[in-house]
Amino acid sequence: MAITINPLHAELAAEIGNIDLHQPLNSEILAALQTALARYPVLVFHEQNLSDDQHAAFARSFGLIDAGLVLAANRKRRLKNTDVIDLANIDIDGNIIDAANARNVSLLANQLWHSDSSFKDPPAQYSILCGIDLPDEGGDTEFADQRAAHDALPEAMQARIAGMVAENWAFHSRNMLGGGNFSPEGMAKLPPVDWPIVHTIPESGHKSLFIGVHTREIRGMATAEARMLLLDLLEHATQRQFVYRHCWQNHDIVMWDNRCTLHRGRPYDLTKLRQLRRCSTEVQAA
Ligand SMILES: [Fe+2]
């Protein structure tokens, strides 16, 4: 039986039904999901209580696993499966971490608009986020359509930013939040990378903005001018009409294409358990 696709937001998000992600995907379902992702870059799946191994296997159907910021961290891992990124606000013994814990810098940096691993080469293509324990209030995740945001820019601005190249650095956002206890050796593993501010998504041919909180400089432009332009673009790109807000239920999975969306978490009570786990895939070489 074919999957069902129920739009949740214009061209940005859709709910996928009639699918069991605990099982390996057959080629027909995989192709259907890839087609759905080319149109709706945010897909929502309900009632998928995956083990870490099932989560990683689902991600691997779409490409190589992206290690992300873990490359720079020197922290004992709580989860056995190293493909899975632990986004729980608990320590290795399962206790909720203190608000001042350095790990909260990275968890709270997720509340700034970003594209996963846009600070590395290759960046992330798809992210697959499993909601395991969600607080009763807060902690929603928002997504912003960067194709629609690009299309809505005035023509003069589209022409101005076409061809601009920006520097992206993982620790720009962490520094904004006071730093995250990363060692110089760890930080050296994730040096800044350059990406065009506007790129084209190969599957759809659609142009998209590629900015966010990791973007800190524009090549050939003074820092202050570049940062004001980036802030203006980010403000434009995250207007409400471009945004889908996901209110989590336990065992939801949300999958998105980082190449043409930005996302951010919303605040929650840091004394309450919030446990999500993420697997991301790397952008494939053309
Ligand atoms: Fe993220």
Q: Do residues 167 and 250 touch, judged by C-beta distance below 8 A?
A: no
pLDDT at 165 over 70: yes
Q: How far is CA 125 from CA 99, 128, 223, 277, in A?
A: 31, 10, 28, 17
- The C-alpha atoms of residue 55 and residue 279 are separated, in whole angstroms, by 7
| CA 1 to centroid of ligand 1, rounded, Å | 32
Nearest to 181 by CA among 76, 98, 103: 103
Share of residues in the chain with pLDDT > 70 (%): 99
Pull the structure tokens for residue 212.
């966010």
pTM here? 0.96
| CA 263 to centroid of ligand 1, rounded, Å | 6
* CB neighbourhood size of 20 (10 A): 10
| CA 113 to centroid of ligand 1, rounded, Å | 8
- Residues 41-65: what's their mean pLDDT? 97
- The C-alpha atoms of residue 207 and residue 70 are separated, in whole angstroms, by 30
| CA 174 to centroid of ligand 1, rounded, Å | 13
pLDDT at 280 over 80: yes
| CA 265 to centroid of ligand 1, rounded, Å | 8
